[in-house]
Amino acid sequence: MALASLMEGAKGGGPVSSFFRTTIIATPLMTMLTMDGNNSSNNASPGENYRHFSESSLLDTGTGGAELVPMWPWFLFLAGAMCCLVFSSVSHLLACHSNHLSRFFWRLDYAGISIMIVCSYYAPVYYSFYCHPLSSLLYLTSITILGVLAIITLLTPALSSPDFRVFRVSLFLGMGFTGFIPAVHAAALFWDHPHVLVALGYEILMGILYAIGVWFYVNRVPERWKPGFFDLAGHSHQIFHVFVVGGALTHSAAIMVILHWRQGMPTCF
């Protein structure tokens, strides 16, 4: 009965039902395809909404008095995620060539992780603080500087040895958890906006997935329990990558929720 009432409520009007349809029922992909920059074409067909999304410029701020939220932070995240996975794939493929190239490619792999972390920050921070440019500039500048320093550190040959395994993981976790400050700031500013809280929930889930993956990586589970048995499949590094992809997908869902919410907000003055 409760489920039936909830579904009936979702068919009606009002902000609660609108939030239910756009955030709970719609998948992140469908949310992306049905975005409307000025939030005024609720009765438009999916094809019209898709054309509106496709024809909007990545950098234009809008026409006719309605502001189109830039899409470049979303594509920056996608580029960073793909860069990380490409670097990782190349490293795993070619690191066995020689001892010299092995060290180089593993450093490249670590640099790719740093790039992904930095690029992951831009979209949620940019869209959350779209009307607070000073806060946005502060947070994005800080994570960019940290990312550059991390890449320089990780490309140092001496720090790519197994002895610094825990140090590298701690560096990545430190970069990741610096997002706690802008997340708390955004929650304090928009605590009465359900979309922001839903996106924050996605981000918390992302952090949990990353942390679980790191735990497998650091503790080398399960190969430490049965050495040699998981050499080809099922070892900790593979499990780590599964959780990384899961975290990236969760983060993309959070970005879609925030972007959809920002496009429905009034223009900043």
What residue numbers does the annotated binding site for Zn(2+) cover? 92, 237, 241
Determine the 3-state secondary structure of 215 from DSSP. helix
DSSP 234: S
Closest CA to 138 of 74, 187, 191, 182: 182
Find out whether 17 and 11 touch, Cβ atoms under 8 Å: yes
User: What's at 31, amino acid-wise?
Assistant: T
Rounded-to-integer distance, Cα 173 and Cα 97, Å:
30
Rounded-to-integer distance, Cα 18 and Cα 261, Å:
11
Annotated binding site: 92, 237, 241
**Is beta strand 62-63 parallel, antiparallel or unpaired with respect to 66-67?**
antiparallel
